[in-house]
Every structure is written in structure tokens, then in C-alpha cells.
Homo-oligomer: A and B are copies of this chain.
Amino acid sequence: MANNYLAKSNTSEIPSATISRLVIYLRILEELANNDIREISSEKLATLAQGSAFQIRKDLAYFGTFGTRGAGYTVPTLLRELRRILGLTRQWNVVIIGMGRLGQALADYPRFVHYNYHLSAAVDINPELVNKEFSGLKVEDIRDLSKIIKERMVDIGFLTVPQKSAQEAADALIQAGIKGILNFSPTIITVPDNIHVETVDFLAGLKRISYYIK
């Protein structure tokens, strides 16, 4: 891992599956902390995460050594480290693009604050929606997107526009300097390498189910 200076073109990349698992571990640790459990072994954590103890130790090893040999992990410590690794210690500013039903539901979602996500703005192209307010968030004109993103230092965009406008909206976000996009539309959007996109597509999940149960 460290000091293999001679590796051919060592991308030293951490598997994306590891990142997905860290998110799972984080959730479990939060629950353990809520229940005032202070110690956990990789074996027990594996049971809760439906994974393997090897895997957990390997996943964590990419980032450092957080446990105590012979004892296991201290819940609050590991929790703090996972939050740090996942970048959840600072506030992330979010803009919602598209205030249809889904955008409205997201505006009303109560748990963002808990995770240091802040809804900085909501925009839509539809003049009928502009200036309306949802859960205390006023809808602004999409033409002001660039200004909004820059002035309020928005980091992440929730893309909840109809499929047809998804790429266009994504382009506008990127143009304005967004860093990450949570794409709720069932379309592949094209972005530069330095932008990270995660897709939330329940229909895709549904189709995978039909494959497996047929």
C-alpha cells in the first residue's frame, strides 16, 4: 500500500465497494452509539453489516489503524474516524434542481441537518413554481443558478428534473462549479472526470429484482 514507489502506474485507488461499505459501517456505528455500546469487534460488526470480519479490517486498513489489538474498536472513535474519512465533518451546501414532487419531498426531508447537509437553494424552470415556498425553501429561477452556486458556495446538486432536461441541468450545474451530483433521473449524464455523480434509480433496482426472482 504505502511506499511502493516503483509500481507501474499505481493509481492507489480505494475500491468504490469499500466506500459503499464504509457508509454501511457508519450507519451501524451510529446505532451502536445510540444504544450506548462502546466496544465492537470486527467479527460482531461483520454480523451486523452482513459482511466478513476480514473485509471490515481490510476496508479500514486503507485509511489507517483504528482498533486495539486484543480488544477491538471503540465505537465513538471509529465513528469519528469514519465521519472524517467520508468527509462528513464539514457542512455541505446543496441545491435542488427541479421542484416537482420529488424536489418538494427532498426539501421536506428532516434528516439533512443531522448529517451536515444544508439546503442552500431550490430552483426550477417553471415560472409557476418560482417564488413558491416548500418547507421554508423558496424556489428561485433556474437562470440564477450560476450566481446562486457561486455566491452560496454550493457543493452538491440534487438533480430532480424530468429525464429530458437532465443533461442540460447537469451541464448548468457543472458550468457553475458544482462538485457532486446526486442524479435522481433514470438517465446517464455525462460529466467531466472531476465531478462525482451518484445515481438513485429505484426502477433499476426493481428490474434487477425481477431478474433474480424470475
| Complex-state Cα separation, A179 to B207, whole angstroms | 13
- Smallest beta-carbon distance A168→chain B, Å: 16
| Complex-state Cα separation, A207 to B200, whole angstroms | 13
| Complex-state Cα separation, A188 to B21, whole angstroms | 12
Q: A213 on the interface (CB 8 Å rule)?
A: yes
A186: which B residues are within 8 A, CB to CB?
27
A203: which B residues are within 8 A, CB to CB?
111, 115
The answer to whether A23 and B105 have CB atoms under 8 Å apart is no
Q: A69 on the interface (CB 8 Å rule)?
A: no
Number of interface residues of A (CB under 8 A): 53
Interface string of A73-96 (1 = CB under 8 A from B): 000000000000111101010000
Interface string of A20-48 (1 = CB under 8 A from B): 10111011100000000000000000001
Interface residues of A in 102-133 (CB under 8 A from B): 102, 105, 108, 111, 115, 117
Choose one: B24, B90, B205, B211; the contact of A182 (CB below 8 Å): B205
Given A101-B105, A105-B101, A180-B213, verify A20-B86 contact (CB < 8 Å): no
The answer to whether B198 and A208 have CB atoms under 8 Å apart is yes
| Complex-state Cα separation, A102 to B202, whole angstroms | 12
Q: Residue of B at shortest CB range from A87?
A: B214
Choose one: B24, B101, B182, B206; the contact of A156 (CB below 8 Å): B206
Task: Please list the 3 inter-chain residue pairs (A to B) with the smallest Cβ-Cβ separation, ordered nearest first.
Answer: A87-B214, A198-B205, A180-B209
